Structure 1
């Protein structure tokens, strides 16, 4: 597949240390993300150390990156995840991300920009069909309760227009049943 997150962080460290977009606020967000979500990666004491405002941001970031590399693969992976969440433009401009995109290698699920938006693999017609059924049932309910029998059958006829054969048959059966007074 590709290199590990630890190897990627070693390669990306120089870029991250020199990128001016990683200001004090963003570095603090990354530290807090790692500390709150993954205290086994960054304890409270370590987070306090890396958030010390008396130390310049570039030094704190360099120390954080070294610390994460010492912690291992999981820590590096979670750093990339936090970077992706909080500083997406920096994340996608990392040298390893650019190289992955250019080489055509598959990108892991965390980094794929389209993976965040794909809820499932169904087409828009599926959702249109579901919506149509819901509208048909709503019309059936509304017109069946508040109108005369003739009004409900006309609503059922309109609701059945865009539906499949089985659904149409059920709606027609319901309308006939309402007409018969059952």
Structure 2
């Protein structure tokens, strides 16, 4: 098995061909869109006569698609690349589920063979859940202080002072100062 980054588009199309022919999401309408794009934008790849042949509704979509893929491979590397471009443009979900694309996505290092499972997780930060809970608690506390304001906070300021006991030095000083100020008024 060769690596994705060294495969030519011709080789990728050879590998992805069986998947594409069996793919149910590639219905007649989508295959026609791909054929029309190749015909309109790259008439040197797919002439009007060839496009008409591949759009024949009397032939099942899987068969037409298989013939189109063989035709594009016969045209060469540029035709295969343009097919992938059209597939990506019109049927993005199928494009990203191609075997060659999955192999590329699952490969953590492009210079090694692909791994069987995607071990890399999507991580927003490396601080962990306690950091998130701490930030969330501070945000909720600030929202409560803002919402209740100084006028309504006479009885709750003692609880705010007690909450300062478990915080770091700077946060504790701010909360105790706020408690003392509200009690003096």
- TM value normalised by structure 1: 0.56
Retained in 2: the 8 A contact 1:156–1:172? yes
In the alignment, the residues of structure 2 paired with residue 140 and residue 146 of structure 1 have an alpha-carbon distance, to the nearest angstrom, of 11
Tell me which of 62, 65, 69 is aligned to 1:57.
65
Question: Where in structure 2 are there 5+ consecutive unaligned residues?
Answer: 58-63
Structure 2 residue 11 is the aligned partner of structure 1 residue 4: no
Matched residues, number = 160
Deviation of the 1:140 alpha carbon: 2.1
Deviation for aligned residue 1:22 = 5.9
* 8 A contact 1:149–1:178 mirrored in 2: yes
Q: How many Å separate the matches in 2 of 1:11 and 1:45?
A: 25
Rg comparison, structure with higher value: 2
- Structure 1 residue 86 displacement after superposition: 0.8
Change (3 A) 1:168 1:156: same
The answer on 1:14 being equivalent to 2:9 is no
Q: Name the CA shift for 1:83/1:18 in 2 (closer, same or farther; >3 Å).
A: farther
Give the aligned partner of residue 147 of structure 1: 152
Q: Calculate the aligned-residue CA RMSD, in Å.
A: 4.9
In structure 2, the residue corresponding to 1:87 is in which secondary structure? Answer: helix
Match of 2:94 among 84, 87, 102: 87
In structure 1, the gaps of 5 or more residues are 33-41
User: Distance between the aligned counterparts of 2:112 and 2:78, measured in 1?
Assistant: 27
Q: 1:174 aligned to 2:170?
A: no
